[in-house]
Chains A and B, each alone.
Chain A
Amino acid sequence: MSVSSRIVLLPLVALVASAPARATVYLSIEDAQQAMFGAAAMTAQPLTLDAIQMKAIEKASGVPVRGSLVRVWRAADGGWFLVDAVIGKSELITYAIGLDADGRVKQVEVLEYRESHGGEIRYPGWRKQFVNKKAGDELRVGDDIQGISGATLSCEHVTDGIRRLLATWALVLKPLA
């Protein structure tokens, strides 16, 4: 893009003021940690699952485990912070969950969303449904989690992802703590 056309575009960019260069990134990992754990120090505790653990998580959650690495942080207050990604319809949704020391969900944040449709999962009301959920809870759309018309797939896949993360916590992280 030429310099002059960049200049010409500036007012347009200002007009669509809410459009940063990458409109789909809502929160950085740091921001999400701050939102969930305030100033508490966060220590990265990345986890590599072995084949037996992966099988066990699949069995407990009913969700396929597709990667052996789990991005985990431990908060100074004993809580946990996990970052994960699922496919919405055809694009990745990156999200984070915060757990308290007992493994109950404190908060769910969508970090990155790429699809035009289904972004309704960012509505606070929808994400609030997960608060206080723990491993072993149903965590299924149409059970204890309500879906959103027009965002069915995104809702189902994020719910599945959280169920998988909670099983990961119960089977692997909790015994480590």
Chain B
Amino acid sequence: MPLNPPTVLSRKLPGKFTLAVSAAMLAALSLPAMAATQQEVLEQKVDALAKQLEALQAELKALKAERAEAAAAPAAAAPAATAAADPSAQPTRQDARAAAEHKEAFLSGYGEVNFSRYDHDASRTEATVRRAVFGIGYRFNDSTSFVSEFETENTVVSAEDGGEFEVEQFYIDHRFNDYLSTKVGLILIPIGYLNTAHEPTRYFGVERNNVETRIIPSTEREGGISLYGRTPFGLSYDVGLTTSFNLSNWDYASPEGAYSPLGSIHGELANSRASDLAQYVSLNYDGITGVNFGGSVFTGEVGQNQNVGVTASPRFTLWETHARYTQGPLQLQTLYAHGGFSDTAALNLANAGALTPIPKAYFGWLVQGAYRVWRAGDYALTPFLRYERFNTGSDYAGQPPGFGAVDRPTETAYTYGTSFFITPNLVLKADYQQYRRAKEDNRFNLGVGLQFY
């Protein structure tokens, strides 16, 4: 990469500047010496000059290193003494192509078309473009880029139709160094596996798993700032300060809060109330090849000064821990998530007898195994089995006597099926889901999912 002249010029400036400073220093040093002998003055001057020379040498060295680094960047500028005669040092077609692919704006996308046939109610059988998502990114410079994702769910968004249009991600990413980057804007919360890796080629089953849909309300995103990075020994971290949920949106009469407590009140940065903020910490360890484990905590106050009728400050907390083991064609995965709201007794009492009080605790966990039984080139067939236990309201505060316990029973779900990969980024899926309690949800699913970038 050629150094452009203005850069070289500006890099010379500090040198001149330091010279000026040294002259001033020299003058300052000389002042007390005026009374002393001429020799002392000279010695001091020589000392100061020597120091200055050292500083300049150091600066020159740093500049040289910087230039060498810049020259090394396009891969083959000066590998050795042979460099001059080395044609591989010249720009190649590969470099040209690479440069063309190193573009400023980039496009990505993913989506899935799903079909579900319910065992016990044929009237619920449906087919839909579950998601069609397009991402647009822009690179401002080597360390700063913009990332966005726009999503439609179920195709048509209108007054009569049930579809949704969402801005799923919209943030600026800036890299400080290898260990520290930041994101600012509408960001995904790094909780569990699916929330940040939600492309259909990245998970098993036509529909996303229950635990990471209902306990962790994927795709959970908030507005805020994230600091993230990784250490050389395999630990990566992500900490953030974001907008929080708004408990005044809780609908005691709607079953939605019983389906996904947090999912029913998330703000998605659509004029989100933002006087109470949330924080998260997420850690992952990948230092042992084939093994990943980690966990995260996401918590924040949810009152949002909306005068929800309590003096206390209700707070949500969601934490999870996860592990994945891959060895050859085998992949095993587990995840446990636990959530809850504090200080909800008064609110629940005020809404005694309502269909959906606010849960003090809810949880879910899953284990999943997958094994790629066949592969030819990019084609691969990977059956999987998933077992889930989850409860969207295992404990409630503020239950008035005489109303009986409202704690929900724990649901068990089995999902078994297969993914047939045409390429790693294009998958056909088929599975069967069986619920121990909500048998009406037992169903057969078919799907096609894709991802490009």
Q: Which A residues are closer than 8 A to B by beta carbons? A: 1, 3, 6-7, 16, 18-25, 28-30, 33, 42-44, 46, 62, 66-73, 83, 85, 87, 89-92, 94, 111-112, 114, 116, 119-120, 122-123, 125-126, 128-129, 140, 142-144, 146-153, 156
Contacts and interface: CB of A to CB of B under 8 A. Distances in A.
A151 B326 CA distance: 14
Interface in B193-229: 193, 196-197, 202, 228
Contacts of A66: 94, 97
A71 B72 contact: no
B79 to A, nearest CB: 4
A112 to B, nearest CB: 7
B86 A44 contact: yes
Interface stretch (B10-18, B24-32, B148-156, B439-447): B10-18
Nearest to B179: A18
A18 B232 CA distance: 12
11 contacts: A3-B17, A6-B13, A23-B143, A29-B76, A42-B82, A43-B82, A69-B92, A90-B137, A148-B289, A149-B286, A149-B324
B98 interface: yes
A128 B197 contact: no
Given A112-B75, A114-B142, A23 B289 contact: no
Contacts of B305: none
Interface of B: 10, 13-14, 17, 66, 68-70, 72-73, 75-76, 79-80, 82-83, 85-89, 92-95, 97-98, 101-102, 106, 108, 137, 142-143, 145, 173, 175-181, 193, 196-197, 202, 228, 230, 232, 234, 236, 284, 286-290, 292, 324, 326-329, 331, 372, 375, 377-378, 380, 424, 453
B395 to A, nearest CB: 32
B143 A71 contact: no
Contacts of A20: 66, 69
Contacts of A16: 176-177, 180
Contacts of B453: 89-90, 153
B98 A22 contact: no
Given A6-B14, A83-B76, A142 B94 contact: no
B79 A46 contact: no
Nearest to A146: B290
A105 to B, nearest CB: 15
Contacts of B202: 152
Given A21-B69, A69-B92, A142-B328, 10 more contacts: A6-B13, A6-B14, A22-B142, A23-B177, A24-B175, A25-B72, A71-B88, A71-B92, A120-B230, A147-B326
Nearest to A111: B75
Contacts of A85: 75, 94, 98
A119 B17 CA distance: 39
A68 B91 CA distance: 12
B66 to A, nearest CB: 5
Contact of B378 (A62, A94, A126, A147): A62
Given A23-B175, A152-B202, A44 B79 contact: yes
Contacts of B289: 123, 125-126, 128-129, 146, 148
Nearest to A3: B17
Nearest to A73: B79
Contact of A42 (B80, B92, B284): B80
Given A68-B93, A143-B329, A149 B197 contact: yes
Nearest to B72: A28
Contacts of B94: 66-69, 85
Given A29-B72, A62-B378, A87-B101, A19 B176 contact: yes
A120 B176 contact: no
Leading 6 A-B pairs by shortest Cβ distance: A67-B94, A46-B88, A69-B92, A146-B290, A19-B177, A44-B86
B106 A90 contact: yes
A24 B89 CA distance: 20
Given A1-B10, A69-B92, A148 B286 contact: yes
Given A46-B88, A69-B94, A146 B177 contact: no
B88 A91 contact: no
Contacts of A90: 106, 108, 137, 453
A43 B80 CA distance: 9
A119 B80 CA distance: 28
Contacts of B80: 30, 33, 42, 44
Given A3-B17, A149-B292, A71 B287 contact: no
A164 to B, nearest CB: 12
A123 B68 CA distance: 25
B69 A116 contact: no
Given A24-B142, A25-B72, A114-B142, A67 B92 contact: yes
A67 B97 contact: yes
